[in-house]
Every structure is written in structure tokens, then in C-alpha cells.
Amino acid sequence: MTEPRSPRSDRSPWNWVLLPAVVIPLIPVLFNHAEPRLLGIPLFYWLQLAFILVSVAATLLVYRATRR
């Protein structure tokens, strides 16, 4: 516990996985459509809810891959 630890870094190529999860939900042309509907829900709504999975997958992947 008391010996000095080796220097470590938060840098990792895995961190780039986070970028699409931030950018994709901010491109309206991808989701600003009514069709196709899913269970009667316009694409605008169900696809943006589906982006939640992208965010979860990206954060989970980075967490797992960079865990020491």
C-alpha cells in the first residue's frame, strides 16, 4: 500500500469507441423521419430510444477494455 505506484494513464485507443456514441444521436438526418414505424411508433422516437443501446454498448466496452 505504501510503496509508490508506477505512473499510469487514462489514454487508450479504446476511448475512441465513445466518439460515435456521442456523435450519432446528434445527426437529425438519421432519425428525423416518420417511417418505418415500429409498433405504431414513428422512427424518430424508436430510433432515438435505440441509440441508448449504442451509448450503453460503447461505455460498457470502454469500461471492460480499460479495466486494470
Partner 1 sequence: MNEHITEIVIFTALFLLVSGMGFVAARWRRADDLASLNEWGLGGRNFGSWITWFLVGGDLYTAYTFVAVPALLFGAGAMGFFAVPYTVVVYPLVMLVLIRLWSVSHVHGLVTPADFVRVRFGSPTLALLVAVTGIVATMPYIALQLIGIEAVLKTMGVTGDLPLIIAFAILAAYTYQSGLRAPALIAFVKDTLIYIVILVAIIYIPARLGGFGAIFDAAADKFAGTPAPGDGILLNANNQLQYITLALGSALALFLYPHSVTGVLASRSRDVIKRNMSALPAYSLLLGLIALLGYMAIAAGITPIGKDVNTVVPQLFDQMFPDWFTGVAFAAIGIGALVPAAIMSIAAANLFTRNIYKEYIRRDATDAQEARVSKLTSLVVKVGAVLCILLIDPQFSIDLQLIGGVIILQTLPAVALGLYTRWFHRVGLISGWAAGMTAGMVLLYNISNPANNHAHFGGSAFPLNKLGLDTSMTIYAGFLALLVNLVVAALVTLLARRMGASEGVDGTAPRDYTADAGDPEVKEDVELAGST
Contacting positions for partner 1 (CB under 8 A): 1-5, 7-10, 15, 18-19, 21-22, 25-28, 32-34, 37, 39-42, 44-45, 48-49, 51-52, 54-56, 58-60, 62-63, 66-67
Supply the minimum distance, in Å, between the C-beta of residue 42 and partner 1. 6
Task: Give the chain's radius of gyration (CA, Å).
Answer: 18
Give residue 46's identity as a one-letter amino acid code.
W
Shortest reach from residue 44's CB to partner 1, in Å:
6
Burial grade of 58 (CB within 10 A; 0-12, 13-18, 19 or more): buried
